[in-house]
């Protein structure tokens, strides 16, 4: 569930610069590309997938709006050196998460968002979670339980976990939450129908997600999806 950007990296490799420094001053370790003096800049927080790390999505910022702040978070659970996850997979059937892991990681991510907002001088309405695979699942986990904490989420190659679906009912506080869903039709890890089911489920909660299918794309992020993500972010902050 890592190497999210395998096709995309070919497009940006020529622009890669020196290895960014890992920051450890907030509840989760992270990389940052920010203007610390600017107030109320949109803040994008990247959430990587299982088995990956904070480097995986960070290059996306090169193709996204330039006047945003960008953080890329390391998941809290170590699988092996340089490989991390947000939660352990539960059982052998349909992809679900260990409840205790989800709760602990969700609370850590929520605390990270709050402290990042304070450090980088922005409001909750300007915070956007951008997650891939397990990171997309965490975007749903935090934003659907705590819609007041963020301004929107982008879930790429992910799903709404069964444990979360079972606990949510329509709520007026989340119905205006902007949601971008992107999924490759040839995804062998998190099947395409998990993306369409997430879209359908969110509509039962009175949300209006923006859904994008990417024909022939597997468990990765295509250049077209990055373009669509950029357009979505720009529409939220015209």
Using CA atoms, how far apart are residues 63 and 96, in angstroms rounded to an integer?
32
Q: Is 118 helix (H, G, I), strand (E, B) or coil?
A: helix
The gap between the terminal CA atoms of the chain, to the nearest Å, is: 33
pLDDT digits over 80-93, tens only?
A: 999 999 998 876 66
Which residues lie across from 141 on neighbouring strands?
Answer: none
Domain limits, the chain: 23-236
pLDDT digits over 59-108, tens only?
A: 999 999 999 999 999 999 999 999 999 998 876 666 666 778 889 999 99
Neighbours of 145 (CB within 10 A): 16
Cβ atoms of residues 133 and 4 within 8 Å: yes
* Confidence (pTM): 0.91
Which CATH number describes the domain made up of 23-236? 3.40.50.1820
Using CA atoms, how far apart are residues 53 and 73, in angstroms rounded to an integer?
8
pLDDT digits over 197-226, tens only?
A: 999 999 999 999 999 999 999 999 999 999
Q: Which residues are catalytic?
A: 133, 187, 219
What are the residues whose beta carbons fall under 8 Å from the beta carbon of 209, sequence distance 6 or more? 179, 180, 181, 198, 199, 202, 203
């Amino acid at each position: 569930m890592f190497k999210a950007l395998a096709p995309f990296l070919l497009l940006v490799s020529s622009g890669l610069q020196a290895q960014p420094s890992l920051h450890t001053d907030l509840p989760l370790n992270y990389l940052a590309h920010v203007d610390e003096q600017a107030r109320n800049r949109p803040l994008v927080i990247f959430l990587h997938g299982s088995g990956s790390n904070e480097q995986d999505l960070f290059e996306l910022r090169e193709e996204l709006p330039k006047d945003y702040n960008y953080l890329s978070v390391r998941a809290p659970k170590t699988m092996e050196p340089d490989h991390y996850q947000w939660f352990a997979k539960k059982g052998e059937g349909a992809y679900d998460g260990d409840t205790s892991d989800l709760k602990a990681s969700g609370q850590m991510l929520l605390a990270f968002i709050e402290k990042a907002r304070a450090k980088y001088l922005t409001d909750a309405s300007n915070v956007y979670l951008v997650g891939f695979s397990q990171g997309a699942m965490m975007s749903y986990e935090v934003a659907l339980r705590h819609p007041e904490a963020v301004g929107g989420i982008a879930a790429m190659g992910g799903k709404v976990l069964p444990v979360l679906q079972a606990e949510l009912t329509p709520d007026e506080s989340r119905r205006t939450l902007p949601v971008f869903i992107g999924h490759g039709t040839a995804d062998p890890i998190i099947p395409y129908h998990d993306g369409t089911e997430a879209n359908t489920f969110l509509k039962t909660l009175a949300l209006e997600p923006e859904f994008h299918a990417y024909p022939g794309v597997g468990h990765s992020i295509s250049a077209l999806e990055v373009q669509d993500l950029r357009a979505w972010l720009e529409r939220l902050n015209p």
